[in-house]
Amino acid sequence: MELYLLCFFAFLAGFIDSIVGGGGLVQVPAFFVLYPQLLVPNIIGTNRLASAVGTSVAAWNYARSVRIPWKTVLWAGVSAAVFSYLGATVQSLLPSSVLKPIILVLIVAIAVYTYKKKDFGQKEHFHIAPERLSWWAAGIGATLGFYNGFIGPGTGSLLVFGFVSVIGYSFLTSSAISKIVNVVADVSSLIFFLANKYVLFHLALPMMVCNVAGSYVGSRMAVLRGNEFIRKVFLVVVAGIVLRFAWDVVMSFRH
C-alpha cells in the first residue's frame, strides 16, 4: 500500500513540478511519512533520481514546443550548479533556520505581487539590455542555486519568478528555462547520491515512471493552456511554500 501511495504522490509531484516547480513539497514529505524507517540520505537520493528523470521529460517537452533562450539557460545552469554546491557547504556551517523567517516574508511578498498584478508574466517584456542579459541570468542562477543547496523547497518556482520579474520572460518561457536549469542541478547532486549508494532502486524506479507520467501531462497542459494557467498554478504552489516555511518557523521557535 505504501508504494502505491508513494507512486500517486510521485505523479502529482511530477505534474506540479513540470508546470511551475515545487513538486518536492509533495513528494519528499510523502516519502518521509510513508517510509519513516529510512535514512534521510536514502529518501533524498531516491527522490532525486525519480524527480531528475521526470524533470528531464518536462524539459524535453518544453524544448519541442517553446523557443528556448539557450544562452540564458547556459549561464543560469552553470552558475546554479556551482552555487548549489556552495549553498550545501554553508548549510553545514550555518543552520537554515536563521534565514527562514526572512525568506518567508519575501515569499509572501512574491505571492501578493503576483496575485495583484494580473498581467504579470503574460507576455515577454524585457527589462534588461541584451548585452547584460547573460550576467543577470547568471545572477538568478547563482542566487537560486545557493538557495537550493542551503534550504531547497520551492527552488523551481522561485526560478520561474526570477526569470519573469527580473528579465521579463513570460511564464511559459520561464518555466521552460527553469526545467532545464533544474535538470543540470539535479544531475549534479544525483552523482553524489549514486556514488554513495543512497539511491534505493526498488522504490526509485516505480516512482520514476509515475513522476515521468505526471511531468509529461503537466508540461503538455502548460504548453497548451499558456501563461494564465501557469500563473494560477504558480500562486497555488507559492501558497504551499508559504505554509511550509511558516510551519518550519513556528516549529523552530518551539524547540
pLDDT digits 0-9 by tens, 97-110: 666 777 777 778 87
- Residue 141: the pLDDT is 93
Closest residue by Cα to residue 49 from 233, 227, 240, 207: 207
- Residue 65: the pLDDT is 85
Q: Between these two residues, 4 and 93, which has the higher pLDDT value?
A: 4
For the chain, give every domain's residue range: 2-254
Q: Is the pTM of this model over 0.85?
A: no
Cα–Cα distance between 201 and 208 in angstroms, integer?
10
Each residue's pLDDT tens digit, 45-58: 898 889 889 989 99
pLDDT band at 23 (very low <50, low <70, confident <90, very high): confident
- Residue 205: the pLDDT is 96
* 59-63, 71-75, 228-232: range with highest mean pLDDT: 71-75
Each residue's pLDDT tens digit, 80-100: 988 888 887 776 676 666 667
The answer on pLDDT for 153 being more than 80 is no
Q: Which residues contact 164 (CB under 8 A, 6 or more apart)?
A: 120, 121, 170, 171, 174
- Residue 43: the pLDDT is 87
DSSP 117: -
Q: Which residues contact 69 (CB under 8 A, 6 or more apart)?
A: 169, 173, 177
Cα–Cα distance between 183 and 40 in angstroms, integer?
21
Each residue's pLDDT tens digit, 183-237: 887 787 788 788 889 899 999 999 999 999 999 999 999 888 888 888 888 888 8
The answer on pLDDT for 120 being more than 80 is no
- Residue 121: the pLDDT is 60
Mean pLDDT across the chain: 85
